[in-house]
Amino acid sequence: MPKKSFAQDCLYTAIMRLMREKDVDDITVKELVLKAGVARSTFYRYYTQPMDVLRDYLRPFNHGNAHLDDKDDKKVYLRRFYQYYTGHSELIYTLVQANKTEFLRETISCHILEVFSPMMTNKGVSPFLQKASVGLCVETLILWIVNDRKEKIEEMTDTVHNMVAVVERVS
């Protein structure tokens, strides 16, 4: 994941605090920058609306760090996926509590498909299987976090890796 600037981190912290006080859809840029202690122009350098701050922190991969060369790499990326979101479990939990689960699903799914779809397509993975595999990962992630992450990251990695392997064998 690309490193965030100090201002982006301040905006993220501020929106998380504001979400404890009010509905995320009611948070304005004005109150967000005030809470974050950054200039409005700084906000607009990175984002166009407050939800973009949350969307940004739900995107751990970029084209520079996403290369699937063999089957073992899938596990590496699944592990990174769960490690990253463990560090952002408060965000996921807060979005679920705010009835923004669809936003959560859509943001994570679209991000993963955007980054990994070209490689999966090159490996002959059909668009249907790509969508099914990503959906499986995202739904499992949400359930895992809502249930207080009782399983270890390695256990989640193995479980999801095995489930995706079953889906791939069926296709």
Cβ contact 42:7 at 8 Å: yes
Residues with Cβ within 8 Å of residue 157, at least 6 apart in sequence: 75, 78, 79, 82
Percent of the chain surpassing pLDDT 90: 59
For the stretch 38-90, pLDDT in tens is 999 999 999 999 999 999 999 877 655 555 555 546 788 888 888 989 989 99
For the four alpha carbons of 124, 127, 130 and 133, in that order, the dihedral sign comes to: negative
Looking at CATH, the fold of the domain delimited by 1-56 is given as: Arc Repressor Mutant, subunit A (1.10.10)
Nearest Cα residue to 94 out of 14, 10, 8, 16? 16
Mean pLDDT value across the chain: 88
pTM: 0.81
Euclidean distance between CA atoms 102 and 99, whole angstroms: 8
Residues in the chain: 171
Q: Where are the domains of the chain?
A: 1-56, 58-171
Alpha carbon separation from 169 to 75, 129, 133, 165, 166 (Å, rounded): 17, 10, 12, 6, 5
Phi, psi of 88 (to 5 degrees): -120, 30
Please report the pLDDT score of residue 65 as a whole number.
54
Please report the pLDDT score of residue 37 as a whole number.
98
pLDDT-derived band at 156 (thresholds 50, 70, 90) equals: very high
pLDDT-derived band at 139 (thresholds 50, 70, 90) equals: very high
For the four alpha carbons of 107, 111, 113 and 114, in that order, the dihedral sign comes to: positive
Lowest-confidence segment of 17-21, 57-61, 88-92, 165-169 by average pLDDT: 165-169
Cβ contact 130:117 at 8 Å: yes
Euclidean distance between CA atoms 109 and 103, whole angstroms: 10
For residues 17-44, average pLDDT: 97
Please report the pLDDT score of residue 60 as a whole number.
79
